[in-house]
Every structure is written in C-alpha cells, then in structure tokens.
Amino acid sequence: MGSIILHISDLHVSLDKKIGGESNPHDSYLSTSLDKEPSFQFIDRFIDTIKKDFPASRIYLLVTGDITNAGEKKEFEFALEFLNRMILGLSINTEDILLLPGDHDLNRRSMEILLVNKEDSTEAEINICKYKNFSEFYYGLLHKEFDPNAVICSTLIVNDSILLLGLNSSIQINLAQRLGIIPLQMFEEELAKVPSLKDFKVIACTHHNLTSSYEDKNNGQWEPSNRDVFISKLISSGIEFLFTGNEHSNSAKSIKNGHLTASDAGTISSKQYESTFKVYEVTINDDIILSNKIYVLQKINNNDLPYQWDIRTNDRFDQPDSFTVSQKKPPEIDEHITEMVVDLDDRITLDSEVVENDGNKNEVADYYYDPEFSDVLYDQMRKINVFHSGHFHWSETSRAHNWIDVSKLIEDKETLDILMNAIADVINVKEIYKDLDLIIGLGYEGNIIASKSVLKYGMPYSFLPYSYRYEEHHKFEKELNFGNDDGKFQNVLIITDVVNDGRTIRKLIKKRHGDFFSNVKNVFVVSLFYTGQESINKNILNFNYLSNQPWFDKENDEEVNNITFYTIKTLKVEKCPYGKDFRQQCFIYKDSLSCVNLFYDESKYLKK
Amino acid sequence: MIISHINTEHYAYFKLHAEEVISSNYLNDNNEGIYIRSLQFETVNRVYEHIKSIALNNKYIVLDFEFIDYLQANILDKIVDVRDLGYHLVFINLAPSILTSLSVKTVVNHKNVKNTIKGFDIFYFFSDESCEMYDVEINSRKIFYEEFKSRLKKGNYIVEYNKVHTSSFVYLKSFIDLKKFISHETPFIYFSIYYLAVKLKKKWSSYLDKNPILVGQSLTSAFVVSILSKLLKLQILIFDKIGPITKLYNKLDKPNFENKNYIIVSDLVCLGTEVKITKNLIEFSGGKYLGNISLVKVETLTRDDMRLDNIDRTISVFSVSDKNNIELNYNIYTNLKPS
C-alpha cells in the first residue's frame, strides 16, 4: 500500500451572511449557507478524485491554514463538518493529519474587544484570545489541544521517514502585524525538543509563503526582517523543503540558490483564483522522493459536471515533477557536457542541485545571498544585456559558449555603485574584514569593483592582471609589490568579476605568486559571478574538492586548498565540449563558421 | 582611515573636505562625490580619534576648511576636543557661512584678518601674542606637492629603466612605478586622487557639464578611474587598447561613441604616446576627446615652450619638469648629442 501526502490549503470557509443578517459576498465554494449541498458536493467531488487516483493509499493530510475566512465561530462549525466529511470519505486517521492555522483563522473582532477592555494585554493573552475559536475547532477535529503560544504546533511522521514540522507563522500576527513571522529563539528552543529529529528528513510547513510566484517579489508574504534569518536557520538545521499555502497560487520555487525549495498548494476553494491542491506520492527506497502532482478545478458556471478536478502536467508550469527529499547517492555529472541553448528568460541557477561538500552531503552550505544585491545584479545584467552567447576562448584550456561582459556592466555609474556595494556587503556579511591583511583586485574589472571595499575597510591593496592576460602587461603591472617572507599577510582577499572553475586563481596563488602565498593562511575569493558547474559553497575552488569531480583536469591545475569562496550571483555557463583537440574537432572553429572570440594570443600555440 | 594627514616641518595638516568625501562616499552611501559641501560631526570625530591615536611631532595642527560651506551642529565641540589634546589649531580657507558655527568672534587675535569675501584665508584659533606659526607660510597646494615629491623620492618609486621607447624613439632613463605607489602610499594615494578630482572640477567645470566619460586605458589607471568615477559621479569606459576587449566590442556590441565626450585617465603620462593612441581610437569612433588627466605627467616641454593655445588638455596632480627632474633623477635621452 502506497502513501500520499494530500496538501490542501486556504479553504476560506466563509460566512454566508454577516453578523446581523446582511448577505456576505465571498470567494469560497465552502460557506455557512444553510443549504449545505453545494459545499458537500464540492467536498464529495474532491473525495471522488482522490479515491479514484489513489485507491489504496494511506493518506496523510496536510492543511496549511486559512480554514476559515474570518475566524468566526460559525465558520469553524461548518469547517469542522466539511473536514470531517472529507476525513471520513477518504478514511484518514486523525493521527495522520497536520493542520496549521492561517492568518484568516484568528478572530480579529475578539482581539479588538480584548484590547478595548485590556489595552496592556500580553502577547500570550492575545494569542489565546485570537485562537479561541480555532482551538475549539482543532480539538473537535483532531481530539487534541492546540497551543496558541507555541511556534511548532504539531508534527506528523510520514512512513517513518519524513517528519512534517507544523509551524505557526501567524503567532505574532495581531491588529497591526499582517506578515508571517517565526520568532527565531522560540523556534530554536522548540525545535531542540522535537524527539528523534535527526532520524527523519524534515519538511517545514507554514501557512505564510516565504517566496512568491504570483506576486512580483521574492519575499512572499513574510516579514523581511525575519525572513532571511528564518531561512538561514532552516537551512542550517538541514531543512531543505517547505510546504506552504497563503498565496492562492500553486507553485514550487527555489530559495537561496536551491538550498530551500518551497511548494505552495494554492487555494483549494476560490471562485476568483484558480482552485488547486497538491498530492505528493511518497516513494521510499534508497532515496526519498515525493511526486509533485498538481490538481486544478475546472472553472464552472452551473455546468452539469460541477467541481471536477484534473491533474496538470508540470511541463510548462515551471514546477518539477518530483522533489528528491533525500538521496543516498550524490548526483553524477556527465563527463560529456552537452550543448544547451542559453535563454536569458530561464534563470540559469543551481536551483535544483543538491548541496555537497567533499562528498559529505549533510554539511551545511555556506554561501552569500542577498536579493538586494544578488537579484539586482542579475536584473542589471539582463537590462544592460551583457550575457553573450558564442565561442569565447580565454586560454587553451578555458573555453565557453557564454560570456558575461562585466566591462560593459561597470560602465553604468549606478550599476557600478551596486557592484561595489555588493562586494563590500559580502565582506561585511561574511566578516571577511576581520583579521584581513591585504586585498588584491584581479583584472581590470576586479580592480575597479574592489576600490570601495579597499577604502571602506582601509586595507593594504594591490592589483594584478588576469592570468590569461599576463603576457600582455608591463612587468611593473605584474608585480604584487608586497613581500611575505615574515608571514605578515596571513589572510588575503582576492576580488574579481567572474569565477568559473577557479583554475586561474589557483595558478595565481601557486605559480605566479607562489612565494608570497606560501605564507598565506587563508585566501578569500569574492566574485560578482560564479559560472562553474558546482553547487555553490565556500570550498568549491579548492583542489581537493574538485579532485572528486569527474570532469576535473588535475594535471593542468595547481594544488591549492586554502580558498574560501563567496559570490554574489551564480550563473551556469556552457563550457566548450571539446578537449585539447578543439582545433580539429570543433567544426565552428575549424571552418570559421561563426565568430570565435579570443581573449588571448593564440599565435604561439598555433606555431607549436 | 584619514587620507589627508600630512606632516610638515611646522605642523600637521588635515583637509576636512577630503575626509568628508571619504565619510560620505565610502563609509556611508550618500554618493555625493566631491560635490558635498557640508561637514558632518562624524568626520571631525574621525579626525579627532586619529589624532588621539597617534603622537604628532608638532604642536600645531592646520585644519583646511576649503569647499566647506556648512557645519553640522556640535562640530565646534569636537574641534575644541582636538585642541584639548594639547594642540594649537590653525584654520585655513574659512567661508563666511561657517564663521558663526566656529564661534570665531570668541577668539581675539589681531593676526586674524578677514579676506575680501568676508571669510578668512587663515585663522589662528588661539590668542598668543607671538607665535612661530605667524611666520610660516601655509599653502595647501604646496603642502600637497612637497608631500607627493617627498614620497616619490623616499619610496624609490622612480626606478632605473634605460628602456628604448619604440614609438617615440627616445631612451627613458627611469620609470615611475605608480602601481607600487598606489599600494604602498596608502592612504595618501586616495588624497592624491581626491586632489585630482578637485583639480578637474576646478579647471574643467565646463567639461563636466558635458557629462564626460572617464576612459581607463591601463590596469593601473582602472583603479584611479574607479575612484574618480565615484568622486565626480561620472560614467566610465574601459578602453583596453592593447587587449581583445576592443576587438570584442567591434564584434558584439559596439559602444556608441557618437556625440559623447571622453576624458582619458592615466596613472602616468610620459611622452603621451598611449594617450594619443587612445585619443585617436575615440575620435576615429566618433567620440569627442576633451582631455587627459593623470596622477603624474612628465612635462618635457611646456605649453609656453610649444607656443600652444591656452586650452590645457592635460591635468595632473604632480608634474615632473625641468624644475625637479634632476632632484627626482628622471631623464629622457636621445642619440643626438646636445649642442
């Protein structure tokens, strides 16, 4: 017998009439109308669909809030009846249900009355008051108490492998606060008390959405000051998935370069928006995989076949067919890099890749991301149109089919300010400035974008040409101009515009300026873009890490293992698929079919 | 970081506008460049903390208020704090608009005489009847020039070269290593670049009205361009004349030079050959060359020598000329014998 997680959200069971008897226009198919048949019919068609598609499955029910529209007692009475009908019809054990409150489940009217009578009410008192109706409903449905002052409402274990962690993102919502928040200290304290947490793959569940697919913003309906720390806490706790509702838009979206994936069920009952829910079929073998099935309600207008649900393919909906919650073996990378068409409309990030460090999958990724800089940088790149496709050769071994023309990006004064501030922000956020002894700007662009940080942090500074351009420069321009025999420079920061596999940086450290760097303890590298193929993490430029990758060419590289790397934005570019024999194998180069852009003098190689 | 601190024989010098520009543009994000005219408490406090943290050899401190038109409240208190560290203060370039904030009337000193615009060129913030400073010339331009020259000499930035200059057919006896100067003369180099920006604004204000684009033509000048761009609020162009970027521009996305104005930025202009190449490339592409600026230029012949018109197309903060080249050990030779 298989299992499914049935994810519904935002039922918004609504008052049919306002208090006093006036008609109450509302958006939900589920209402408190005395004529319950339309609501029952809606529930029954839903039950039919699930029973038909998953006839012998154990059903775990996840309800991510907004059961009612206004948290009114009458709404909850009807909601209890509707959900009981659903549970009974689908033979769901009440122990297999995780139900969270949404911001529409708290009763604002009672909160107002409380504050009128007792203006200095504590947050705990307000929570008890605002969730009074919900608590009664909760007990009536699940036969257990709801704690209005706990961040972790409840947990649900699925197939002894997955733990759904129910979080109350409305806990601090009151008459003034409307966005989702998870108080971090409470979360940490309560999380520490969840038994056997390490034995499960944890999926966090909240009502509020941490990101958006309908609204044109990344922050979702979440308090910005809380969002970043909460995301960081989830990631550092090994939580890589988040199931939400609230936005009334069915979606799946990556956050923080794919380290957290959010799946939103949408609203199950909306006349205005598209009504949707999700079914995650649970497959557990070596890996734990959840299929991502999206159900959509056919829009009806007194049709003969009301409330029909059908499954939607994800092909053009920008959602994966499945979520790999846990993977026993790390993903294998093809030795042969296949050609792909680069489309700027398709953000080429590492969204779906698994974080991995030196083969240890569970190690938490350390990387930089701030939408103020990471997303803005990407937007500027698109706006100024500096992402080029073609054949770009930087050296005999470094060739790609894409090029980010950063020199063009920095021509714009406002963009240059953003780039400089972004670099300075990485140094600040990652606290690189502490104990830093020297900054090196690499290349024209690195030299330019470094200047603000150099002045801001008052650091000794030098700049060097790109490795592939070394021979073109005057001998004085190739000097580092600092000696390090006495080990004075222990921590050195290299600022550059684009890093691919980091070969040129390792060459710089080991070969070009080996004497200086032999006494350097830590080399920090900060770039605007990372264009390589690894999941972003701070150690992906180190030789030992790369040695584990099948594509890595050890012979032509330098053994450097003290690099800590941060980048503002990750963009995967397509590498040239040919090897040393590209002059013979690449017909585009060989027959001059298209423009091949050379960043180096290849004449000396041609003579050989 | 205090960029303008210069120790002279008689006093320590600080240019408050330069420090304000650093506070505004680099420590905060006001992005007003050198156009900022108000002095903030934070900046004076930074100067105070700097002075407090070091032992100055002189008991006199000169605070240059040039380009400051407004003072934030309580600045005088902090200036008095500096004085109370045990120094005699001298203010120079006081605009009339800041006299009240500095309470100049409370200081009785017959040496303090207002200038024609009702400000003070020099103001002694003490009342001593006699003082050695009364006879000391305080000229901010000269202070900077002497400091630049002194650092060039002390740091051995002028190195033996003996290289044939192939495009101009001369022998360069020595080379001024400004890349090394940038790395080793921190933070004075930032004061130098600030100075260059101020000079450009003063001399070429009409050019600045045309929104010129600053052109970086070498790795070293790219750093200068980066800071100048922020101080002057100008766009930049990396014109890598020897490298492939220029080739790629021609193939991919050629910039539109038409009807745009360009100022070439160099670290060092020796014979001007590289500037001319860049100038020709700009003009060939339809752009208008306004002039060139550099940290150091070598004046082999002056404009008077060449009897050129008065339009000075070159600005630098330090010149190597017949007045200092022997002292600096800088020479250029040809095969021709002097008569």
At residue A343, does pLDDT exceed 70?
no
Distance CA A206, CA A223 (A): 14
Give the distance between the most distant pair of CA atoms in chain A: 93
B229 and chain A: CB distance < 8 Å anywhere? Answer: yes
Q: What is the mean pLDDT of the segment spanning A363-367?
A: 67
DSSP type of residue A63:
E
* pLDDT at A221 exceeding the cut of 70: yes
Q: Would you state the structure tokens that stand for residue A390, as one six-digit string?
A: 């073609």
What local confidence, expressed as pLDDT, does residue A348 receive?
A: 33
pLDDT score for B334: 72
* Per-residue burial over A85-109, b = 16 or more CB atoms within 10 Å of its CB, e = otherwise: bbbeebebeeebbbbbbbbbbbbee
Residue B280 has pLDDT above 60, yes or no: yes
By C-alpha distance, the chain B residue nearest A385 is: B253
Find chain B residues with C-beta within 8 A of A451's C-beta: 223, 226-227, 230
For the segment A301-328, the average pLDDT, to the nearest whole number, is 79
Q: Residue A334 has what pLDDT?
A: 34
Residue A576 or residue A88, greater confidence: A88
Looking at the predicted structure, is the pLDDT value of residue B246 above 70?
A: no
Tokens for B21? 């520009």
pLDDT band for position A582 (cuts 50, 70, 90):
confident
Q: According to the model, what pLDDT value does residue A336 have?
A: 31
- Using an 8 Å CB-CB cutoff, list chain B residues near A479: 177, 179-180
CA distance B324 to A65: 81
Region A597-607: mean pLDDT is 76
- pLDDT tens column, A83-128: 999 999 999 999 999 999 999 999 998 999 999 999 899 999 999 9
Sort A472 into a burial class: Cβ within 10 Å, 0-12 / 13-18 / 19+: middle
Q: State the best of B176, B179, B240, B247 to mutate against chain A, taking most chain A CBs within 10 Å.
A: B179
Q: Quick one: pLDDT at residue B169? A: 67
Instruction: Identify the pLDDT of residue A604.
Output: 74
Instruction: Report the alpha-carbon distance of residue A10 to residue A207 in Å, rounded.
Output: 9
CA distance A427 to chain B (A): 14
Contact list, A407 vs chain B (CB under 8 Å): 238, 240, 245
Cβ contact (<8 Å) for B27 and A600? no
User: Among A326-335, A386-395, A531-540, which stretch is predicted with the lowest mean pLDDT?
Assistant: A326-335
The CA distance from A447 to A300, in Å, is: 62
Q: What is the mean pLDDT of chain B?
A: 87
Is the CB of B236 less than 8 angstroms away from the CB of A452? no
Q: What is the pLDDT of residue A163?
A: 96
Q: How far is A484 from chain B (nearest CA, A)?
A: 14
From the list A444, A450, A462, which residue is nearest B183 (CB)?
Answer: A462
Of B236, B245, B251, Cβ closest to residue A416: B236
The pLDDT, as a whole number, for residue A412 is 87
Residues of A with CB under 8 A from a CB of B: 385, 388, 390, 405, 407-408, 410-413, 416-417, 420-421, 441, 443-445, 447-452, 455-456, 458, 460-463, 465, 469, 472-473, 476-477, 479, 481-482, 595, 597-600
- The more confident residue out of B12 and A388 is B12
Does B275 contact chain A (CB < 8 Å)? no
Q: What pLDDT does A331 receive?
A: 41
| Position A304 pLDDT exceeds 90 | no
Q: What is the mean predicted confidence (pLDDT) over A509-530?
A: 95
Q: Tell which wins on pLDDT, A195 or A495.
A: A495
Output the pLDDT for position B98.
95
Under the banding of pLDDT at 50, 70 and 90, the label for residue A551 is: confident
Residue B166's pLDDT is what?
Answer: 64
pLDDT of A362 reads 43
* Cβ partners under 8 Å of residue A183, min gap 6: A151, A171, A172, A226
Cβ-proximal residues to B159 (8 Å cutoff; 6+ apart), any chain? B174, B175, B177
Q: What is the pLDDT of residues B142-176, one digit of tens each?
A: 999 999 999 999 988 988 776 666 656 667 777 88
Report the predicted TM-score, pTM, of the whole model to 2 decimal places. Answer: 0.63
Instruction: Give φ, ψ of A268 to 5 degrees.
Output: -85, -20
Bridge partners of A95? none
Between residues B299 and A96, the one the model is more confident about = A96
pLDDT at site A354: 38
- CA separation for the pair B218, B213 (Å, rounded): 16
Using 50, 70 and 90 to split pLDDT, how confident is the model at A361? very low
Residue A329 has pLDDT above 70, yes or no: no
The answer to whether A535 and A354 have CB atoms below 8 angstroms apart is: yes
Q: Is the pLDDT of residue A140 over 90?
A: yes
- Kind of pairing, strands A288-291 and A322-326? antiparallel
Of A410, A441, A481, the CB nearest to B184: A481
Instruction: Reply yes or no on whether the pLDDT at A211 is more than 60.
Output: yes
Output the average pLDDT for chain A: 86
Q: Mean pLDDT, to the nearest integer, of A441-467?
A: 93
Q: Which of A411, A444, A600 minimises the CB distance to B219?
A: A444
What mean pLDDT comes out for the span B260-277? 85
Interstrand relation of A276-284 and A309-312 (parallel, antiparallel or unpaired): unpaired
Over residues B203-219, the pLDDT tens digits come to 898 889 889 999 998 88
Q: Indicate yes or no: CB of A452 within 8 angstroms of CB of B230.
A: yes
Number of inter-chain CB pairs under 8 A, A vs B: 115
List the single best residue of A372, A408, A451, A482 to mutate versus B (max B Cβ within 10 A): A451
B248 touches chain A (CB under 8 A): yes
| C-beta neighbour count of A116 within 10 angstroms | 8
- What is residue A321's predicted lDDT score, i.e. its pLDDT? 87
Contact between B339 and B184 (Cβ < 8 Å):
no
The predicted-structure confidence for B72-111, as pLDDT tens digits, reads as follows 988 999 999 999 999 999 999 999 999 999 999 999 999 9
Higher pLDDT, B193 or A585: B193
- Cβ distance of B244 and A597 shorter than 8 Å: yes
pLDDT at A518: 95
Q: For residue A458, give how far its alpha carbon lies from the nearest alpha carbon of chain B (Å).
A: 6
Least confident window among A71-75, B159-163, B264-268, B290-294: B159-163
The pair of structure tokens assigned to B216 is: 């970086």
Q: Do B238 and A481 touch (CB under 8 A)?
A: no
pLDDT for position A333: 35
More confident call, A499 vs B163:
A499
Per-residue pLDDT at A335:
32
pLDDT value, residue A349: 34
Supply A553's token pair: 């060419």
Q: Specify the pLDDT at position B225.
A: 95
Do the Cβ atoms of B186 and A460 come within 8 Å?
Answer: yes
Q: Give percent of chain A above pLDDT 90.
A: 54
% chain A with pLDDT above 70: 91
Interface check for B246 against chain A (CB to CB < 8 A): the answer is no
Q: A542 — phi, psi (to 5°)?
A: -85, 140
Would the CA dihedral through A20, A24, A28, A30 be positive or negative?
Answer: positive
Confidence class of residue A608 from pLDDT cuts 50, 70 and 90? low
Window B:44-103, CB contacts with A under 8 Å: none
**Inter-chain contact A463–B179, Cβ cutoff 8 Å?**
yes
- Does A353 have pLDDT greater than 50? no
Q: Are A180 and A170 in contact (CB under 8 A)?
A: yes
- Inform me whether the pLDDT recorded for A79 exceeds 50: yes
Minimal Cα distance from B178: which residue of A? Answer: A476
Distance from CA of B304 to the nearest CA of A (A): 33
Per 3-state DSSP, what percentage of chain A is helix, strand, and coil (rounded to 5)?
Answer: 30, 25, 45
- The pLDDT of residue A352 is 32
Residues of B in contact with A417 (CB under 8 A): 31, 230
Query: Cβ of A458 and B187 within 8 Å?
Result: yes
DSSP string, B219-278: HHHHHHHHHHHHHHT--EEE--TTSHHHHHHHHS-----TT-EEEEEEEEESSSHHHHHH
